[in-house]
Every structure is written in C-alpha cells, then in structure tokens.
Amino acid sequence: MSDQAKKQSLVLRFIKEFLVYRKYTAIAVMTIILGTIVSLYPPYILGIAIDEYLIVGRVEGFLALSLMYLALILIQWLVQMVRGYTIELIGQKMVYSLRMRLFSKLLQTKIGFYKDKYVGDIVSRIVNDTTTIVDVFVSGLLNIIGDIITIIGVFIIMFTLSQILTLASMISIPPLIFISMYLGAKMRLAHRSVRGRIGGLTSIVEETYSGIDAIKSFNREKAFIGKFINESMNTMKASIQAAVLSGLYWSSTGFVSTLSSIAVLLVGGYLVFIEMISIGTVIAFTQYVGRFMGPINNIAGMYDRLQQALASLERVYEILDFPEVEEDKGIELKKLKGEVVFDDVWFEYEKGVPVLKNVNFHIRSGELAAIVGPTGAGKTTIVNLLLKFYEPTSGRILIDGINIKEIKRSCLRNRISYVPQEVYLFPGTILDNIRIGKPDATDKEVIEVCRKLGIHEFIEKLPKGYYADAGEAGKRLSVGERQLIAIARAMLRDPDIVILDEATSSIDPYTDELLRNAIKNLMVGRTGIIIAHRLATARSCDRVVVVNEGVVGEVGTFDELLNKKGIFYKLYQAQMSRTIELEYGYQYAGL
Ligand SMILES: Nc1ncnc2c1ncn2[C@@H]1O[C@H](COP(=O)(O)OP(=O)(O)OP(=O)(O)O)[C@@H](O)[C@H]1O
Ligand SMILES: [Mg+2]
C-alpha cells in the first residue's frame, strides 16, 4: 500500500470510530449551521436600523428591531455555548477512548514490544498525539463546516447588497491566503520546533535523573549541565522565533483585513456620495468583511494541521495495530505440581541469532534448582520463556507434563512467582507494594507473610514501617532490601513455582542473611528455581543447571559438578579465588 493510501485508510478507520458519536455530532453540526446562519443577520439588521430608522428619524418599530437584534445575539450566544460544549464533549470522549485503548494495548502486547521503545515516545503518543488527532479531525473539521457556511453566507449577502463593494472587500483575500499559507506554515513549524525542544529538555532531565549515580561517579555534572544549557538555549531561540513569527502572522492578518475595511469605506463612501448605496449598507459591509478573515485563516491553515494530525494518527495506530498480543486462552490449572522440563528448546530474540540452543533439563516437583552460568549465557532468557514472555523458536517447555503453550497464560503466571534481580517499587506504601502479589490480601495477611519470611522486623524498622512511602523509601532501599519486599510479594500469593534472580550487587552480611533466610522460607514446599550469581548458593540446591553460551553444558548436584571438573568447576574456582582475594584484601587492609 502506498503511503498516501495507508494514510487514507487510517483516516477512514478513524471516521468509522468517530461515528459512534454520531448523535453528538449531529447536534454539533446543527448548532454550527444554526449559529452560523443566525450570526449572519445582525450586521444586516444594523444596516436597516441606520438607513430606515436612525437617518430618517423613524421611531415606530425601532424598539422591535432592537429587540430582534438582541434576540439574535442571545440565540447566537446560546447556540455558541451548546456548540462549544458538544464539540468539546465529542473531542474529550474521543481522546479518552483513544488513550484507554492505547494504554490497554500497551499492557496486552508481548514484552518484546518494549525493548526498542523510549518511554518519552510512548508517553507522547498517549498524551500529545491523541490530542492533536482530536483537535484537528474533530474540532478542526467540525468548525470548518461553520467556516465554509460563513464564507458562502457572507459572500451571498454582500453580493446581494452591493456587487461593487463585494469586489472592493476582496482586495485582502489574496494577501490573506498568502500570509496564512506562507507565514502561517512557518509559524506552525516554529511552534512544532518549540515542542520538540521542550521534549529534548524533558529527556535530558529524565536521563539525568535515571543516571545520576553514573553522572556523579564519573564527574560528568558539567557535561550534563552543558547539554542542558545547550538545549535550553535552543528552546529559548526557538520560542523567540515562534513568538516573532506569531506576532508577524497575527499583525499581518490584522493589517490585511483592515485593508479590506479601508477599501470598503473608501469605495462605499464614494458610492454613498454619488447616492448609489446607503450608509447602512456600508456599515453592514464593514462588519461582514471582518467575518471573512477568521474562516479563511482556518481553512488556509488546515492543510498543514491535517498533515500533522495524519502523522499523529499513524503513530497512534502503530501501537493499536501492533500484532503481537498476549492471548489468554488454554488449559486452566488451579494448582501446579511444579515439574519443569525444557525439551530441545531453541530461541532467538532476533532472527538468525540463536540465544538458546538445544536446551534440555528436568526439574522435579518440589526440587530447588540453580541455573548458573557466565553473564549473557541465557539464564534470564530461560526464565522469560518459562513465564511465557516469549515463545521458543522450537522445542517444548513442559510444566507437569503439559506444554506451556497449551496452558492459559494468566493461570500459569498466577501459580509462578518471579522475583527479579532489580525490583521496581511502585509509588505507594510498602504494604501496597507487597499486596501487588495478592491485591485482596488484608494488612494482617501481609504482616503474617513477612513474619514467616523473617523480614517483619526489617520493615518495622523503616521510618513509618509498613506505611513507609515506597517511592521515597524505594530510592533509599538497597537492591537486597528491595528484593526482600519482592520476596514477600512472591510469597503472599502462595505460588507453586518460585523463580528468583539473585541480586548481583554485593549485599551487606546482615541483609544477605535476611535474604538467604527469606529465600529458604519462600521455597519450602514449592519448586524453586534460583538464578544463582554467587555459585555458593548452588550448594544448597538439589540440582544445578549450567548454561554457557545458550547451551546447557552440565546438569547435576553441586558435588557431582565439582568432581566432574568441567565448566562449573572452572567458574567456581574463578569466583572463589576472587572472593579469597577480596577477603585477603580486606584482612590486609585491617578490615
Ligand atoms: N530483548 C533482547 N533482544 C536481543 N537480544 C537479547 C535480548 N535480551 C537478551 N538478549 C541477548 O541474549 C543473550 C542472553 O541474555 P540473558 O539476559 O538471558 O543472559 P543472562 O544469562 O541472564 O546474563 P546475566 O547473568 O548477565 O543476567 C545475551 O547475549 C543478550 O545480549
Ligand atoms: Mg540475567
């Protein structure tokens, strides 16, 4: 499909969706037509009032005419209000529905969708693009109906009143169209550039916030301030340019429209002088001329705005149409025994680059297994497949003898708890953060679980304890401490299988002890899989799966693998000698 055809089909789809609001749209269109027609009368009546009453000194009927004038203005006011409200209502409903659909889609897409997207880009699609689309395709296009009627109506009335004056008033139309198309386009471009620059500023602040540790530790503060100054300066320049262009644009349109009024006055004055037309007609004309300009401006700028809205439409539908969504169909299981089998599993994130190659292992129900291996070996990938975040390229993963492909996704994830390496705490209390594991759990239940895990005292010691704000506390808590909260989350839902990605950062002996105890308590009576970065963890496991470059190199108990003197032995030796070096170093330093 060509680009143009693609855009057209998107617009058609949008219009179809828009038709849901046809009742409101009908009201809006009616008010637009009615309001516009009503608004055409007052200048005409003013003309009559001047010519047939004021100049000739006729009193009789003047009050009625004035009341009619007032009534028209009142109707206009009322209709305008209903029109504004209805258009806003349709627009806001549409924005709401688009945003809801985008956000739900984001939560339904497979996790791979997120890997190459920036948060700012997604936010901008949900917040800004939806508004642009609705502004242009709903309010913009609806208002254009009124603009067209105004132009036609005003033209007809003017033409009937005086053809010569109509011609004179047209003097400003060509420069006006030129200004709208040329200066207007420049002005809109400048405003877009300002928005882009502000986006740039936002991302620098975001980056700085996320990477503050690296910035400070590498003494990069000045560089980042420099980056910010640079972008701020560009924002300032762009804003000034936009302001200059805006000023130029609005004053030029004002000036050009005045040209028409002057032309009308000059020509009109002459025509009155030679008694070809009345004073009232000239005054009515000066009012009509003013009404032309707004609609012409709007229509001339529409092409530009349409292009922008089409780009937004594409960006929004790109998310809505993303084909890879998680399905929630299949066998419903209330409970798992917890037997896990990887049978000749192959997997690639990118076509042609296998990350897992012929992976085979078998973890029996109730066992505690360790997955170990060098960094980048594919350990997290194995977990990703087990949680159905991705599907194997080939091979089977069985839980209790059933291919997980056949198991309903939500059932599977309900029965498996995953404690990631880096835990994210949501804004809210610690209590609420633990409750994510089981939203209907009572406070007592949560506290009970923490007691069982042996972390109750740790949480109580935080300022405000369970009610500590996790947003604030989250930044203060160490990786290990955050993992403790995640372990409580995992335990709360009483899962059948627990997967834990051991934290790699060094953890102080006190937290380490807390963690080890909590992990031990969490694993009781369940199948446990620990991605063990510290190989000593594997000692207490029933089975150790060694992954290396996407291949399962060895499987066995800790002692069996050490005796085998293969990959595991080498990894273990290397890690032990590093630890000894470190400990020796501490001793040497007198610590
Ligand atoms: N989304 C992705 N797209 C492409 N490649 C990926 C993606 N995620 C991981 N990889 C690659 O797959 C390989 C295995 O990664 P994985 O995260 O499973 O390693 P790991 O064993 O968990 O390592 P670590 O011990 O450092 O956590 C790596 O080479 C990694 O670069
Ligand atoms: Mg990993």
* Kind of pairing between the strands at 394-399 and 340-348: antiparallel
Task: List the alpha helices (DSSP H) in 332-442.
Answer: 379-386, 409-415, 430-435
- Token readout for 354 is 């296998």
Confirm or reject: Cβ of 197 under 6 Å from ligand 1.
no
Shortest-distance atom of ligand 1 to CA 383: 18
Q: Whose CA is nearest to atom 2 of ligand 1?
A: 349
Q: What is the pLDDT of residue 1?
A: 63
CA of 379 to the centre of ligand 1 (A): 8
pLDDT of residue 271: 94
Give 314's contacts (C-beta < 8 A, 6+ positions apart).
6, 7, 10
Q: Which amino acid is at 255?
A: F
Distance (angstroms) between ligand 1 centre and the Cα of 115 equals 12
Interstrand relation of 497-501 and 527-531 (parallel, antiparallel or unpaired): parallel
Two tokens at 430? 């610690």
- Looking at residue 278, its pLDDT comes to 93
For atom 28 of ligand 1, the residue with the nearest CA is 376
392 lines ligand 1 (CB under 6 A): no
Distance CA(24)–CA(22), nearest Å, equals 5
pLDDT in tens, the chain (591 residues): 677 788 788 888 888 888 889 999 999 999 999 999 999 999 999 999 999 999 888 988 999 999 999 999 999 999 999 999 999 999 999 999 999 999 999 999 998 888 888 887 888 899 989 999 999 999 898 999 999 999 999 999 999 999 999 999 888 888 988 888 888 889 888 988 888 888 888 888 988 988 888 898 889 999 999 999 999 999 999 999 999 999 999 899 888 888 888 999 999 999 999 999 999 999 999 889 888 878 888 888 888 788 889 989 998 999 999 998 888 888 998 888 999 999 999 999 999 999 999 999 999 999 999 999 988 999 999 999 999 999 999 999 999 999 999 999 999 999 999 998 888 888 888 999 999 988 999 999 999 989 888 889 888 988 888 898 877 656 677 788 888 889 999 989 889 999 998 876 666 777 777 778 788 888 888 999 999 888 888 888 999 999 999 999 889 989 999 998 888 888 888 887 776 555 444 444 444
For the Cβ of 115 lying below 6 angstroms from any atom of ligand 1, the answer is yes
The topology (CATH level 3) of 1-162 is ABC transporter transmembrane region fold (1.20.1560)
Distance in angstroms (rounded) separating the CA atoms of residues 580 and 45: 99
**Token reading at 106:** 């984001």
CATH superfamily, domain 340-588, is P-loop containing nucleotide triphosphate hydrolases (3.40.50.300)
Task: Take residue 184 and report the two structure tokens written for it.
Answer: 């207007």
Identify the DSSP state of 140: I
Q: Which atom of ligand 1 is nearest to the CA of 384?
A: 18
- Tracing tokens 């005409």 back to the chain, one arrives at 44
CA distance 298 to 36: 15
In this structure, which residue's CA is closest to atom 18 in ligand 1? 378
- Cα 56 to Cα 525: distance, rounded to the nearest angstrom: 104
Between the CA of 381 and the centroid of ligand 2 the distance, in Å, is 7
Tell me, rounded to whole angstroms, the distance of Cα 338 from its chain centroid.
37
111, 372, 379, 499: which to mutate for ligand 1, most atoms within 8 A of CB?
379
C-beta of 383 in contact with ligand 1 (< 6 A): no
Longest dimension (CA), the chain: 120
Q: Give the DSSP per-residue string, 95-111.
A: HHHHHHHHHHHHHHB-G
Q: How far is the CA of 350 from the centre of ligand 1 (A)?
A: 11
Place of tokens 């009572």: 442
User: Order of strands across the sheet with 368-372?
Assistant: 416-419, 497-501, 527-531, 368-372, 543-548, 551-556
529 CB near ligand 1 (under 6 Å): no
Residue 30: which of 82, 103, 73, 67 has the closest Cα?
82
SS3 499: strand
Q: Whose CA is nearest to atom 29 of ligand 1?
A: 376
Ligand closest to CA 548 = 1
How confident is the model at residue 585, as a pLDDT? 45
3-state SS string over 46-90?
HHHHHHHHHCCCCCCCHHHHHHHHHHHHHHHHHHHHHHHHHHHHH
- Report CA-CA distances (Å) from 280 to 47, 163, 166: 4, 15, 15
- For residue 288, which of 261, 327, 315 has the smallest C-alpha distance? 261
To which H or E segment does residue 531 belong? Answer: strand 527-531
**Helix/strand/coil percentages in the chain, nearest 5:** 70, 10, 20
Evaluate: CB of 375 within 6 angstroms of ligand 1. Answer: yes
Of 355, 386, 377, nearest to 527 by C-alpha is: 386
The number of helix segments (H) and strand segments (E) in the chain equals 22, 10
What angle is formed at CA 181 by the lines to CA 178 and CA 186, rounded to 5 degrees? 115
Tokens of 531: 């991605």
379 ligand 1 Cβ < 6 A = yes
CA distance 397 to 406: 10
275 lines ligand 1 (CB under 6 A): no
The pLDDT value recorded for residue 505 is 62
Residues with CB under 5 A from ligand 2 (ion): 380
CA-based nearest residue to 541, from 421, 342, 369, 361: 369
Termini Cα distance of the chain: 70
The two tokens of residue 244 are 């200059």
Find out whether 373 and 531 touch, Cβ atoms under 8 Å.
no
Task: Report the alpha-carbon distance of residue 299 to residue 294 in Å, rounded.
Answer: 9
How many whole angstroms separate alpha carbon 342 and alpha carbon 398? Answer: 6
Nearest to 79 by CA among 145, 30, 26: 30
Host H or E run for residue 161: helix 141-161
Whether 385 lines ligand 1, by a CB cut-off of 6 Å, is no
Task: For ligand 1, say whether the CB of 213 is within 6 Å of any of its atoms.
Answer: no
Q: Which pairing describes strands 416-419 and 402-403: parallel, antiparallel, or unpaired?
A: unpaired
CA separation for the pair 573, 382 (Å, rounded): 25
Q: How far apart (Å, rounded) are the C-alpha atoms in residues 79 and 96?
A: 25
pLDDT score recorded for residue 586: 44
- What is the total residue count of the chain? 591
Which residue type is seen at 167? L
Spell out the residues 6+ positions from residue 508 whose beta carbon is closer than 8 angstroms to its own.
Answer: 478, 480
pLDDT of residue 588: 43
Token pair recorded at residue 94: 């549409």
Ligand 1 site-directed mutation target among 115, 380, 421, most atoms within 8 Å of CB: 380
Report the alpha-carbon distance of residue 283 to residue 292 in Å, rounded: 15
CB 233 within 8 A of CB 240: no
DSSP 8-state secondary structure symbol assigned to residue 138? I
* Cα–Cα dist 575/587, whole Å: 18
Does ligand 1 have an atom closer than 6 angstroms to the CB of 459?
A: no
Could you tell me the distance, in angstroms and rounded to a whole number, from the CA of residue 550 to the centre of ligand 1? Answer: 10
Nearest ligand, CA 356: 1
